[in-house]
Amino acid sequence: QKEVEQDPGPLSVPEGAIVSLNCTYSNSAFQYFMWYRQYSRKGPELLMYTYSSGNKEDGRFTAQVDKSSKYISLFIRDSQPSDSATYLCAMSGGTSYGKLTFGQGTILTVHP
Amino acid sequence: KAGVTQTPRYLIKTRGQQVTLSCSPISGHRSVSWYQQTPGQGLQFLFEYFSETQRNKGNFPGRFSGRQFSNSRSEMNVSTLELGDSALYLCASSLWRGSDSPLHFGNGTRLTVT
């Protein structure tokens, strides 16, 4: 079993929809949780960065972490065609500095 | 502020050769990590460098190595290339060495081994 599980999709939604992306994990040592967006032929771009449980909002993006359930989510409101990309969850914790454990990535397409 | 810069963007090598990839971190960032991305395995951690010393290493064979220079720039080397080494190699930098210092990635070097 992988340490981090992420539904690869693909996910296809109409413009303006609310998108929900999710990851589950098994390692209790994870304390830092990130969401990256990766466009084709580009590197991952940091979208959201959260510590421990709770919610964090940044514009149209909201990240949620539930450590008791080992579950994290990213919500995208009013989705746009420019949001079409692969979304990767990533986690770190303990003393494994510089080492992130990634989910497989979810491919999202927002169609006009 | 310039992001993480990786060179070259694309490389084609044949089996048995060796290759060196270069990474310039964001100005002021002192920690550099390397990742391999493939369609089958996703993003996998290779190693992390801080203050010119390898601090952390992933589960890759010894053919994969790296180094960091005093200006924080980093290189990774792969010797005796195999077909399975074809991948996108990503470099990431962070301000300091700690889980509370988020990683910022470059656009990668696409390596194709024939």
A102 touches A2 (CB < 8 A) = no
Confidence of residue A94 (pLDDT cuts 50, 70, 90): confident
For chain B, which residues score pLDDT lower than 50? none
Contact flag A100-B58 (C-beta cutoff 8 Å) = no
Confidence of residue A98 (pLDDT cuts 50, 70, 90): confident
> How is B53-93 classified by DSSP, letter by letter?
EEEEE-S--TTEEEEE-TTS-EEEEE-S--GGG-EEEEEEE
**Looking at the complex, does the CB of residue B66 fall below 8 Å from at least one CB of chain A?**
no
Instruction: Measure CA B102 to chain center.
Output: 16
Which whole-number Å values give the CA distances from B101 to A33, A111, B24, B29, B113, in the listed order? 11, 35, 18, 10, 34
The distance between the two most distant Cα atoms of chain B, rounded to a whole number of Å, is 40
Question: Among B33, B104, B106, whose Cβ lies nearest the Cβ of A98?
Answer: B33
Q: Which structure tokens are listed for B49?
A: 């460098």
Chain B contact probe: residue of A42, A50, A91, A99 with most B CBs at under 10 A = A99
Contact flag A102-B50 (C-beta cutoff 8 Å) = no
Contact flag A93-B103 (C-beta cutoff 8 Å) = no
Residue A96 has pLDDT above 80, yes or no: no
Contact flag B99-A96 (C-beta cutoff 8 Å) = yes
Q: Which structure tokens are listed for A98?
A: 């510089």
**Mean pLDDT, rounded, of chain A:** 94
**Looking at the complex, does the CB of residue B94 fall below 8 Å from at least one CB of chain A?**
yes
How many residues appear in chain B?
A: 114
B47: left (phi over 0), alpha (psi -120 to 50) or beta: beta
Name the DSSP letter for residue A83: G
Query: pLDDT digit string (tens) for A43-75?
Result: 999 999 998 888 999 999 999 999 999 999 999
A62 touches A75 (CB < 8 A) = yes
Percent of residues, chain A, with pLDDT higher than 90 = 83
